[in-house]
Amino acid sequence: MNTRITIANLLAAKREGRKIAAISCYDYSTARLVSQTDVQMIIVGDSAAQVVLGFDSTLPATMDFMVAITAAVRRGAPNVFLVADMPFLSYQISRAEALRNAGRFMTEAGAQMVKIEATSAHLDVIKAVSDAGIAVMAHIGIRPQSISKTGRFKAEATTAEMAAELLSLAEQMIAAGAGSLLIEGIAAEVSEIVTSRCEVPVIGIGSGPGCDGQVLIAPDILGLTQGPCPKFAKSYDNMAKRTVEAFDTYALEVGKQQYPDAEHSYHMKTGEFERLQELLKGKL
């Protein structure tokens, strides 16, 4: 793929009924692999705080950390549409702070869109960032940054009243300037209505098949995640098992002195070892 995917391409995909495949990844090496596939979008999520750094929530992700890994992903996947996740307290303090941080993702990391976990309280932030010329993906439904308030996550829009509220919120986000929606943990019936009513691309995570696109984190897709996963997560390989086996084989070969062998070692030029031996003899 030689041409960078843009929001225009995603809008065209929506209009033409072509589904958008998105992956969350956090590093250069994985991004390089993603860039060799038909995946159109990468979201560098603040879930990196959990997956990469080992925290129990997304909250410890900082702006500096998120900018650094987003830039790394851009270098690995220069042609994939790139969304950067605004971490906790990067946009809640003030609109000025939100603009400054969103701008950093554009200028320092090469992102094409920023994602903001939003409620109706953040409509002014969505509008301010959009008015500044920065594309915004509004993240509604389950919002991991709100874990300290909710204590646990559960499916959203599972009653008629909750669904009506979410549909209204989605419309408000788009009216405020959101160029895309990410809906997480939404009842499948409701996500289909949201998608049909919205003119912007709607990406789902755990929200059923009716969205314009889907996103999963790379470690889940690869089967690298050990332990319990969300209901919606699907693994397409079991690389955790194969990775452990590879590490074990490496350790075994080192212990048996089978690695490194001659093929995996550097060697002196022809005749130079003999010369070295002569030089060393003269110093004895």
User: What is the reported pLDDT for 154?
Assistant: 86
Does the active-site annotation cover 117?
A: no
Structure token pair of residue 278: 């002569």
DSSP strand pairing (213-217 vs 20-24) = parallel
User: What is the reported pLDDT for 243?
Assistant: 97
Say whether pTM exceeds 0.85: yes
DSSP strand pairing (202-205 vs 81-85) = unpaired
Local structure of 142: helix, strand or coil: coil
Question: Around 62, how many Cα atoms within 13 Å sit in the side-chain half-sphere?
Answer: 4
pLDDT truncated to tens, each residue of the chain (284 aa)?
A: 459 999 999 999 999 999 999 999 999 999 999 999 999 999 999 999 999 999 999 999 999 999 999 999 999 999 999 999 999 999 999 999 999 999 999 999 999 999 999 999 999 999 999 999 999 999 999 999 998 887 778 899 999 999 999 999 999 999 999 999 999 999 999 999 999 999 999 999 999 999 999 999 999 999 999 888 888 999 999 999 999 999 999 999 999 999 999 999 999 999 999 999 999 997 66
DSSP lists the bridge partners of residue 43 as 24, 83
Element (H, E) at 141: strand 136-141
Q: At CB < 8 A and 24+ separation, what contacts does 211-215 make?
A: 211/183, 212/13, 212/14, 212/19, 212/20, 213/10, 213/13, 213/19, 213/20, 213/21, 213/22, 213/40, 213/41, 214/19, 214/20, 214/21, 214/22, 215/22, 215/23, 215/24, 215/41, 215/43, 215/182
| Amino acid identity at 82 | L
Whether residue 260 is preceded by a cis peptide bond, meaning omega within 30 degrees of 0, is: yes
Domain residue spans in the chain? 7-237, 242-281
Q: Where are the alpha helices (DSSP H) in the chain?
A: 7-16, 28-34, 48-51, 63-76, 95-109, 123-131, 147-150, 160-176, 188-197, 218-222, 239-255, 272-281
The CATH number assigned to the domain with range 7-237 reads 3.20.20.60
Q: What is the pLDDT of residues 197-219, one digit of tens each?
A: 999 999 999 999 999 999 999 99
Local structure of 258: helix, strand or coil: coil
User: What is the reported pLDDT for 151?
Assistant: 73
Q: What is the pLDDT of residues 157-194, one digit of tens each?
A: 999 999 999 999 999 999 999 999 999 999 999 999 99
Identify the active-site residue in 184, 253, 263, 272. Answer: 184
What's the burial of 265, exposed, middle or buried (CB within 10 Å: 0-12/13-18/19+)? exposed
